[in-house]
Structure 1
Amino acid sequence: MIPVHSFLSAFLTLQTPTPPPPPPPTPVAAESAAERAAQAAERAAQAAERSAAAVERLAQGLAGPVAAAEQKKAEEQKAEAATTASAWDVTVGMGLIFVTGNASTVTLNGLVAAERKTENWIYAVKALGAYGQARAPTLEGQPQAPDQVVALNALVQLRGDRRFTERLSGFLLASADTDHVKSVEARGGFEAGVGVQWWDVKHPDGSNSFLRTDLALRYGREARFQYYPTPVNLPDVSLGGPRVGAAFRHGVTKDIALLEELSVLPSLIEGSRLLITNQTQLNVRLTRTLAIATTFLLQYDSQPAAGKLPTDTSLSLSASVTF
């Protein structure tokens, strides 16, 4: 049997009315809620924008001094480079050999070189010369032999390079020289060619190294005259052909450098003739401006003047000052 109280509970539950569901929101209420959500999103976006602006100002404030310092340093380096490029580098060198006793010898050589570099041009001027006298030994009571000139030469050279790129340039060169001992009264020449700077590296220890090569066409005229032992006029000759040149520098340290220069000229007019000049120099810098140099020079001419040897060599010690 079903208990009476359970039957009464079920009957009351059936008789209790179910509350109706809430009415749907009106269109006005829905629009108001959407508007509030849009306003909240807009305020959030504005707050994010203000935060980003604050972070950017903070970053600019922190980076400002560093950027200003870097810009100032770059401007100083640019000004220094411009000042250096507009100045002439001048070197003056001189060497002297003086021997007395049974034999007497005096040899003097000098060099003046100047170079100026700009953004697009390189100008170079070089002048050198040598003079030497020697007195042969004589027996006591015998007449003194006359002095003999063993060196009498000079050279002037002008060169201008136009830079096309960092490595490639075109150049014009003019030179004039004389060498009385080799029976060269005067020799002038002109060149036009291209130069390639293969590398120019400055090392952390202050030393630097470079390699430059030249390829040019050269024409010159050589007036010959025999000065020693007796004056004799000789026929003049012309020079013309391609010239290949190279200059190499290796910095052993910031104060010691080895310089090698080579020039090869095969003349193709008025017969076959070959001229080679090679110079090796060890340069030791004593102070910022003073240096000493040991130079070995080799000059070869396959067709020298009559009675002259084809090869000349010299070894010299000189001091130079750079301004």
Structure 2
Amino acid sequence: MACSLPLLLAVLAQTPEPNPRPAPAPTASPSVAEDAPKALCEDLTEKEPGPWTGSAALSFLLLAGNSRSLALTANGLAEYRTKVWVATFKADGVLETAASAEEGDGDEDVVAEALVASVRGERRFTPLLGAYALVYGKTDHLASIELRLDGEAGIAFTLLERDTKYAEQQLLRLDLGLHYSNESRFQYFEDEQELPSVDLLAPGGRLTFYYPFNERLKFTQYLEVFPNILGDSRLLADSTTKLSTYITHRLALSTNLLVQLDTAPAAGKAVADVALTLGAEFEF
């Protein structure tokens, strides 16, 4: 027994050690773990809006002046905007069954068409000052306008343009330029006949004002005035007042009041046209 104990110890000393337990896999450092959610959030962050914006609207139109009618009107707008360039494209169309307002013909139904399209481009030299050019085309059967072509160039003053807490821009812009138009006239109703065309050359002023009261209610005012300095005395003026109530971020119900003044219209036509529209507008 005395020899067995030393012998047992010698055997145990020569027995190989068991394989060591594998080391645990390295874990991410706290900084790496914190950066992972941040990177994911950055990927999900919305990209900055592109330079293009626009809107399309469909409205009912109530007219007084050269006609008394309820009509359907559609319009669209697209704008390209950078820090240096601003380009605006507009189109408006009207299709209606109306009663002419000329004396003795108030009960006659007529089908009237009107279309307006314009393109305005501006090159900004500073945030406040730029140069612009504008081309414009119009046809209006009720006003006896077969085709009116306008051109204008001048200086644009952006007096106010800044973001508000509703993530919309306030805008106050004044255009001062020289305006020329050639208006071909044709009497479409009653006795169809060619009418003398007229030219207009005028210093022009245009005011654009946009203000969001809050995220749901937005106001727009557009006004332009052109006093003729070529030939007979004539004054053209347009005013559009618009109030939009947004149902969603992009869909709105809009009310527009349009007043058009021409102190020397075609024979038998009213000096002023007034239009009130109620409709829906979608922004994109």
TM-score, normalised to structure 2, is 0.76
Aligned to 1:159: 120
User: Secondary structure at the residue paired with 2:50?
Assistant: helix
Displacement, 1:201?
Answer: 2.6
CA distance 1:146–1:272, change in 2 (3 Å): closer
5+ residue gaps, structure 1, are 1-68, 99-104, 137-144
Distance (whole Å) between structure 2 residues aligned to residue 183 and residue 94 of structure 1: 25
Do residues 238 (structure 1) and 199 (structure 2) align? yes
| Compared CA separation, residues 97 and 268, structure 1 to 2 (3 A) | closer
- 1:115 lines up with 2:96 in the alignment: no
**Segments of 4+ moved more than 3 angstroms:** 205-208
Q: Give the secondary structure class of the aligned counterpart of 1:90.
A: strand
Q: 1:297 to 1:97 in 2, by over 3 A?
A: closer
Gaps of 5+ in 2: 1-37, 63-68, 101-106
**Which residues of 2 match residues 1-323 of structure 1 at below 5 A?**
80-81=47-48, 84-85=50-51, 88-96=52-60, 107-134=71-98, 147-149=109-111, 151-323=112-284
Higher fraction of strand: 2
Q: CA deviation at 1:302?
A: 0.6
Amino acid at match of 1:84: G
Backbone CA RMSD of aligned residues: 2.5
Name the structure 2 match of 1:48: none
Aligned-residue sequence identity (percent) comes to: 32
Inter-partner Cα distance in structure 1 for 2:182 and 2:165:
47
- Offset at residue 234 of structure 1 (A): 0.7
Confirm or deny: 8 A CA contact 1:281 1:295 kept in the other structure: yes
Is contact 2:61-2:276 (8 Å) kept? Answer: no
- Of structures 1 and 2, the larger Rg is shown by 1
Provide the rounded CA distance (Å) in 1 between the counterparts of 2:74 and 2:55.
Answer: 11
Is the 2:61–2:73 contact (alpha carbons within 8 Å) kept by the matching residues of 1? no
Tell me if structure 2 keeps the 8 A contact 1:93–1:321: yes
Q: Show the counterpart of 1:55.
A: none
8 Å contact kept, 1:207–1:252: no
What SS does structure 2 have at the residue aligned with 1:271?
A: coil
Amino acid at match of 2:50: T
More relative contact order in 1 or in 2 (CA 8 Å, sep 6+)? Answer: 2
How far did 1:293 drift? 0.7
Q: Number of matched residues?
A: 233
